[in-house]
A and B are shown apart, each in its own frame.
Chain A
């Protein structure tokens, strides 16, 4: 399952992030790394909003499809 297919209120764990080094570094530095757990505040349509380390992060469709997650 990707972050694009989640539902509101889901708690998910990041399994893998497909993307270049820059993308992965950027996401890890705000707390989105393989193994991190996040809460889904809003699902598509529109951006996915997740709560991570106390802040709300909006992630666009293209990126969300590159983040593999599993439900916890």
Chain B
């Protein structure tokens, strides 16, 4: 079968994902672009005996090399590892979307132009003149509605025609004002004089980018051209002239010209039968939800609703799954394999089933949270929440879009890491997912509950407030620190587009949820499974020892590590082993302590009050809060950042920070309580 590779390029929010879903169904893969944390989606489908692979480039507003997303998209388009370029436009915002189309044409690309959301355009009382647009752009144009699933066959048809060479789009060369054209020719002439025969780029495009002071293009020239300085002087001279005559800097001037042309083409193509659409209701809601006084209560109400629905719905399901894997199946195997060596039984029950169970109990929470998050995104609330929090989060080098993942972290860190997908800026997204583990998830609460019950009955809320506050403080501190290194100030996520509110389209929401849950099972699931198995191994080797007992490998490990914990006031190896098991999931800490002290969770409180002092108890809680993320979170971060580098660094940093903080808290508490 012949393969056709298609690059999808367009602004954020134009519906590229929706088109991919409509064409390829759930046959979609999510990964990362090589070497960077930018998400890459690909989808495949068969059409007329061809296998078509859709490659979703990051959503971008322009093709200048200022952000990671723009650089990824541009270098992919320039390197040409694809057969057909498809430019997806939101037809309800035609002028703005054509800006990118003009940039593509400048580069010498001749994409198929997809006008998506025609259904909405009609609802608004507009119609688009496709022929007129085809004529002005000199490119094939197809009207599509990903939601209504119209025009898709025509699109596939066009893709094939271009791929096989039956159709050769000509493309027009965007021409701007005389002044700009003169400037471009001047630069072109200067470049031509020294042009190497192998010059790989469109010269006109290159000259325009120089006028826009594109960093990558400038660097390229600085290295390759001898008379770069002369070119630079010329650009500076042109800039002076533009400043004088047009009261505008050169890059903005070029952008403005492009915008004028895009608007002109759009006005010619879109016919209106009614007055301009005024989303007045939408505007009124926006005033309410993005004003801090009214917006913050609304935000917390929404988040509360999300948590309530998620936990109410998922708890019984998770319990059922947990029972199935930790009671039902194990007792079944105990009966079925009676007489088999205990080692084998333990392998199946404590090793394999516990591992599968550890993956499966996450599914209800993940699926429901995903679903709710996609709905919030689809109706348009996410963008408002991001706008609401932007000022505050910028203080810590983050953006408003980081708030929702962070809040979700209080429920469970795993879906919180996945929720960062809604963030546009890859750098800020990476930082956000790295700080999520500091936020105290509900699993950690089980550990605090037992220690607070044993030591701080009178000051319960105060201690919990301290622990939760410490987690938030660490997260924000850490964010501020990384953003200093990553220079997020140059990130351009400083404005947020607010799409009109709308009803969620359930087929999009459902198929996205399904795709993401499936990805979790296969990618993160395998890591979780392997780690659970390893932990089982160290707990049951050498053969014949009591599971996780004093003489098992993990028992020895606990004793080996004990000196490290002595300064935190911990004198017994058992809590140390519990922490090792806590890497699986933080709630396991309590269960392990119960097993090791042989008392079950009920008698634990009493026993702990003998082994710990209040000071070491609070140090142990702080350590549990801050030390390594659970394996599912680690796996999620690996999956989302595309590299082991980040979770590995995180583990090291967290361990060190946890120890130092616990030590300081232990000392502080010793002074305070004495």
Residues of A within 8 A of B (CB): 8, 17, 20-36, 41-42, 45-47, 49, 53-63
State the Cβ distance, B157 to closest chain A Cβ, in Å.
Answer: 30
Answer whether A24 and B249 are a contact pair too, CB < 8 Å, given A53-B95, A59-B495.
yes
Is there contact, CB below 8 Å, between B387 and A25? no
Query: Complex: how many Å from CA A20 to CA B64?
Result: 14
Query: Complex: how many Å from CA A15 to CA B255?
Result: 15
Stretch from B38-46, B282-290, B549-557, B640-648 forming part of the interface with A? B282-290
**1/0 contact string of B546-575 vs chain A (CB within 8 Å):** 000000000000000000000000000000
B377-393 residues at the A interface, CB under 8 angstroms? 383-384, 387-388, 390-391
CB of B492 within 8 Å of the partner chain: yes
CB of B204 within 8 Å of the partner chain: no
Query: Complex: how many Å from CA A59 to CA B400?
Result: 11
Stretch from B127-135, B291-299, B366-374, B611-619 forming part of the interface with A? B291-299
Query: Complex: how many Å from CA A56 to CA B282?
Result: 10
**1/0 contact string of B375-412 vs chain A (CB within 8 Å):** 00000000110011011001000001000000000000
Query: Complex: how many Å from CA A34 to CA B492?
Result: 18
B15-53 residues at the A interface, CB under 8 angstroms? none
Query: Can you list 16 A-B contacts (CB < 8 A)?
Result: A21-B66, A25-B66, A27-B495, A29-B99, A29-B100, A30-B96, A33-B259, A41-B287, A45-B292, A46-B291, A47-B496, A56-B279, A56-B500, A60-B394, A60-B494, A61-B391
Q: B259 — which chain A residues lie within 8 A by C-beta?
A: 28-29, 31, 33, 36, 53
Is there contact, CB below 8 Å, between A25 and B255? yes
Query: Complex: how many Å from CA A24 to CA B383?
Result: 22
Prevailing SS type, chain B contact patch: helix
State the Cβ distance, A48 to closest chain B Cβ, in Å.
Answer: 10
State the Cβ distance, A31 to closest chain B Cβ, in Å.
Answer: 6
Query: Complex: how many Å from CA A37 to CA B388?
Result: 24
Is there contact, CB below 8 Å, between A31 and B292? no
Is there contact, CB below 8 Å, between B498 and A29? no
Nearest CB in chain B to that of A61: its residue? B391
Is there contact, CB below 8 Å, between B92 and A54? yes
Nearest CB in chain B to that of A26: its residue? B492
Is there contact, CB below 8 Å, between B494 and A56? no
Query: Complex: how many Å from CA A61 to CA B383?
Result: 16
Answer whether A58 and B387 are a contact pair too, CB < 8 Å, given A24-B252, A34-B256.
yes
Query: Complex: how many Å from CA A49 to CA B286?
Result: 9
Query: Complex: how many Å from CA A53 to CA B94?
Result: 9
Nearest CB in chain B to that of A60: its residue? B390
Is there contact, CB below 8 Å, between A59 and B494? yes
CB of B213 within 8 Å of the partner chain: yes
Q: B61 — which chain A residues lie within 8 A by C-beta?
A: 26, 29-30
Q: B499 — which chain A residues lie within 8 A by C-beta?
A: 55-56
Partner of B498, one of A24, A30, A49: A49
Is there contact, CB below 8 Å, between A47 and B290? yes
Nearest CB in chain A to that of B395: its residue? A62
State the Cβ distance, B398 to closest chain A Cβ, in Å.
Answer: 12
Is there contact, CB below 8 Å, between B248 and A35? yes
- Known contacts A53-B93, A59-B495; can you find 13 more A-B pairs with CB under 8 A? A23-B494, A28-B259, A29-B61, A42-B287, A46-B295, A46-B388, A49-B287, A53-B259, A54-B96, A56-B283, A56-B286, A56-B497, A60-B387
